[in-house]
Amino acid sequence: MSRRNQINDDNDDKRHDEDFFGAHNKRQETDLSGGIGGKSLWDAARDIVTSREKAETLPTESNTVLFVGSRTGGKTTMILRYLERTNEAAKPTIALDYNYAKKPKTIDTIGKDVGHIWELGDGTFLTKLIDVVLTPETIANASVVLVLDLSQPQELWHTYQTLYEAIAKRIKYCINEASKQNPYIKEKLKQSVLKRLGNAVRLDKGEIEPLRIPLLIVGSKYDLFQTLEPDAKKSIIKTLRFLTYYHGATLMSYSEKQESVHLRAMINHFLFDTSLSNKQPQIDYQKPLYVKSGSETPEQIGPPPIPEYELGDLRENSPIAVWRAAYCKRFPQEIEKRDPSLTQDYGRDPQYADASIDAMREQKMSELQRYLTMKNRSHS
């Protein structure tokens, strides 16, 4: 390790939380007219109004939640339910969708906290758009909700792996960039991981690979999942429990037919830093799942869902690779492939119609067609 890296690591070990807004100097005016307590009632009233006006204009440190996951996993419905917009019909998400939520502050403050909710559409095909949401500026206050369709076990691992690897890579980049301005961010996020998992966890042992920001894994379409064979359900749930443990996440199931109190509480926690209950894990595959981060151990989860006599045939050298091999042997993964020429042209979708933009689009398409025609004539 170079001396420069050593110095950076030493700096990362120091913990120093700076005030987000900086120090505010309070100035009191002396009542020259001899009012009660050295200040007249007019001055006291004016100070109260001024302080409220300042509080209303102060920026707030907002949290961001990114929803990713299976293409038809129900992400949009989850968000609409959370925002209490149940009268709206969920439409397929095109690329990235943005919403926000507001929560009143405490009685001692003015204004509201704003939480940003982003949804990545199209399953695993638009992972590059994760860069729009997770940035060096937002990474310290960001969380991820990974939605996996329990009714499609043949796509579950591929969806998880593709999205998780893209997110983990982006987080690493953002932290490295953010640390150039704030050398304490690595230590801050590390302490957040330890708080979620328990301070007894040793991150340097290599037995787990926790995501550096909070992660919630949601097993959606739980009602359809219940129609699977018992052995299949046990294998899926066991694998999700391992992924939850390995990545320091929280796990819960979800069905559009039932309201999820845990999901609402978790989104509130991500957006507004509210407290979570210490509910005991619910791991029975016949009941709604709930496993809070740091509440399970490898001994409780048990071995991968594969016969013991076949475990010796696996030539993997890491826990995650062993579980991947076991799961994919039980559920061979079907990777969706698309012909780009068959991709829907959302620019002509009536729900996104805009007269000025559509006119400009037609003009550019006409110019492109004329160019291609002229080019073909020159080559003929």
Reply yes or no on whether the pLDDT at 344 is more than 80.
no
What is the reported pLDDT for 91?
Answer: 83
What pLDDT is attached to residue 11? 44
Does residue 243 surpass a pLDDT of 80?
yes
Tokens, residue 113: 């906290």
Find all residues with CB under 8 Å of 212, minimum gap 6, and list them.
171, 172, 175, 189, 190, 193
User: 140 in a domain, yes or no?
Assistant: yes
Q: Would you say residue 345 has pLDDT above 60?
A: no
C-alpha torsion angle, residues 89, 93, 96, 99 (rounded to 10) = 10
> Does residue 356 form part of some domain?
no
CA 17 centroid distance within chain: 24
Using CB atoms within 10 Å of the CB of residue 219, give its burial: 0 to 12 exposed, 13 to 18 middle, 19+ buried.
Answer: buried
Name the β-bridge partners of 65. Answer: 117, 143
- For residue 131, pLDDT over 50 is answered with yes
Residue 277: give the domain boundaries: 59-330
Residue 348 lies in a domain: no
Does residue 137 lie in a domain region? yes
Residue 366 is assigned to a structural domain of this protein: no
Do the domain assignments include residue 321?
A: yes
Average pLDDT over residues 169-198: 93
- In this structure, what CATH number is given to the domain that contains residue 304? 3.40.50.300
Tens digit of pLDDT for each residue in 186-202? 999 999 999 998 855 66
pLDDT in tens, 27-64: 333 333 444 455 666 676 677 666 655 544 444 578 99
Please check whether residue 288 lies inside any domain of the structure. yes
Average pLDDT of the residues in 297-308: 85
Judge whether 50 lies within some domain.
no
The number of distinct structural domains making up the chain is: 1
Report which residue type is found at 65.
V
How close are the terminal C-alpha atoms of the chain, in Å? 62
Of 15-24, 160-169, 368-377, the range with the lowest mean pLDDT is 15-24
Q: Over the chain, what is the mean pLDDT?
A: 80
Q: What is the DSSP string of 125-162?
A: S-GGGHHHHS-TTTGGGEEEEEEEETT-HHHHHHHHHH
Position 4 pLDDT exceeds 70? no
Residue 113, H or E segment:
strand 112-120
